[in-house]
Amino acid sequence: MTREIAYSGETGRSLIKNRWRDALYFMAIAAVLFAVMFTFINEKTAKVSFYWAFYFSLIGIIANGRQLSRRHLWFTGALALLGCSKVIWFYWHYLGNADYDPFNDYLNAGKRLLIAAVISYYLFSQRTRHPQLIRRMMEWGLIAAFIGTTAYGLYQYFSSAHRVEFALDRATISAYGYAMLAAVVLFMLAAKSHAKGQLLLCLGVFIIAWFVIIQTGTRNMIATFPFIIFFVGIFQFRHLGWKAAAGIVIAVAVLAAACYKPMIKPRADIAIAEFNRYSQDHGNKHGSLTSRLAMWNIGIACFAANPLGMNMEQRTAWFKAYVKETHQDASALNFVSIHLHNELIDSATLQGIPGALIMVLFYLTLIIYALRKNNALLFSVMLAVVISGLTDVVFISRELTVCVSLLLVLCLLWQNLNATPQKRR
């Protein structure tokens, strides 16, 4: 009798403990999904959700430290390494310096990456008893995020906004993040079923997403989004056949023709004119593309001359000296104190060879893993990250640092849960 009572008490305590553990995990996942969803709708809500995801994860790690597994520790390490590289660079150059600024973009981006690493460690290492339920929650959460964001973008478009920029007030950043979210949802739907209706749904997602991206006026993503979808789709889903490929090609042709005159042609004409202006005026006249070309040209020269990096004030001084000496690329001076509109060049000029190598290592590690594991979601996001980084910054932007790091976590977690047996205990 005593043994039965003791056994019953032990079972009850285990049941309560398991329920508490499950609830904590559900709350962490929900907070991550809310952070992604509200990135484009309400930045403050996204920020609060991100920190709540961190709090839930930290509590889970402390409470279940001995029971946590080490799955995907490599990814947590990659995020942490990238974050540490930015934080260490900041304190190395600014601690005790008169130019110390606690709101430095590199410092804050590094902190956010470290927080995302803690979240990823908890979500990957906690052995949930409800993998299919969590996966379904993630699927519907990401679909809701895409629908909500798309609806907001279309609202801006029909409200005669000059460019769709969601709640971020920057069309370029909005286009990059939205393209990644759309790619994740599209390939998540493609992986679920190969039925004709499912393929039509994926095609619809692509058409709507590309239309919204076109309305952002972001030339980089307007040109590359169809190629990302087509390339990843053919590479990861070769068995879908020529009909799916033909559908994408036809959709691209029709949508490009419809949007060519009002949106695509004007942006293309401006790009061509600015490229010609850069050559004629030696990069001394301001323009969206001319300034970028000037920044990249000086940035490469700056990195070659200072391979170990420098702080932002030193970089600004170096740029000014370069312009004064060469009498060219003066338009770069308008943005050098912010960033150089290229992830790798910006990191290389400030963090030197170590920072550039860590960034490239991060890119390659995740892309190779995505290819080896046939993770179309992760592959598409990483291609968008690399392409976006050619003309802007991803892991320096406050909003994209959070959104992209969490999307990468969800891409890995979704496939991991998809491969988990339903009756796992």
Chain segment 158-209, per-residue pLDDT in tens: 887 678 889 887 888 999 999 999 999 999 988 876 656 677 788 889 889 9
State mean pLDDT over 75-86. Answer: 95
More confident residue, 346 or 12: 346
Residue 8 neighbours by CB distance under 10 Å: 10
First to last CA, the chain: 29
Q: What is the mean pLDDT of the chain?
A: 85
What's the pLDDT at 263? 67
- pLDDT category at 67 given cuts 50, 70, 90 is low
pLDDT tens-digit series, residues 121-150 = 999 887 667 788 888 899 999 999 999 999
More confident residue, 218 or 114: 114
User: Of the candidates 232, 215, 140, 133, which has an alpha carbon nearest to the alpha carbon of residue 178?
Assistant: 215
- Four-CA torsion 54, 55, 58, 63, nearest 10 degrees: -150
Task: Say which residues have a Cβ less than 8 Å from residue 52's Cβ, sequence separation at least 6.
Answer: 27, 31
More confident residue, 326 or 15: 326
- pLDDT category at 260 given cuts 50, 70, 90 is low
What is the DSSP-derived secondary structure letter of residue 97?
A: -
CA 53/CA 122 separation, integer angstroms: 10
User: Of the candidates 273, 281, 317, which has an alpha carbon nearest to the alpha carbon of residue 298?
Assistant: 317
- pLDDT category at 2 given cuts 50, 70, 90 is very low
State mean pLDDT over 78-97. Answer: 94
Cβ atoms of 125 and 21 closer than 8 Å: no
What's the pLDDT at 196? 62
Give the tokens for residue 22: 């499950």
State mean pLDDT over 287-316. Answer: 91
Global pTM reads 0.89
State mean pLDDT over 152-156. Answer: 92
pLDDT tens-digit series, residues 415-425 = 887 765 444 33
User: Which phi and psi (to 5°) does residue 339 adopt?
Assistant: -165, 170
**Cα–Cα separations (whole angstroms), residue 64 to 17, 51, 299:** 10, 20, 47
pLDDT tens-digit series, residues 340-375 = 999 999 999 999 999 999 999 999 999 999 999 989
pLDDT over threshold 60, residue 6: no
Longest dimension (CA), the chain: 94
Angle, vertex CA 206, rays to CA 205 and CA 208, nearest 5? 65
Instruction: Show me where the domains of the chain are located.
Output: 68-281+342-418
Is the C-alpha dihedral spanning 59, 60, 61, 63 positive or negative? positive
CA 100/CA 86 separation, integer angstroms: 15
> How many helices and strands in the chain, by DSSP H and E?
15, 0
CA 120/CA 101 separation, integer angstroms: 28
CA 225/CA 184 separation, integer angstroms: 12
pLDDT over threshold 70, residue 25: yes
How many Cα atoms are found within 13 Å in the side-chain-facing hemisphere of 216?
Answer: 32
Give the tokens for residue 116: 């995302």
CA 244/CA 198 separation, integer angstroms: 11
State mean pLDDT over 33-44. Answer: 92
pLDDT tens-digit series, residues 197-254 = 677 788 889 889 999 999 998 888 988 998 898 888 877 665 555 666 666 677 777 7
State mean pLDDT over 321-340. Answer: 88
pLDDT over threshold 70, residue 401: yes
Cβ atoms of 170 and 45 closer than 8 Å: no
Angle, vertex CA 295, rays to CA 267 and CA 402, nearest 5? 75
pLDDT over threshold 60, residue 330: yes
pLDDT over threshold 70, residue 81: yes
pLDDT over threshold 90, residue 284: no
Helix (H, G, I), strand (E, B) or coil at 4: helix
User: Of the candidates 87, 24, 10, which has an alpha carbon nearest to the alpha carbon of residue 57?
Assistant: 24
CA 50/CA 108 separation, integer angstroms: 14
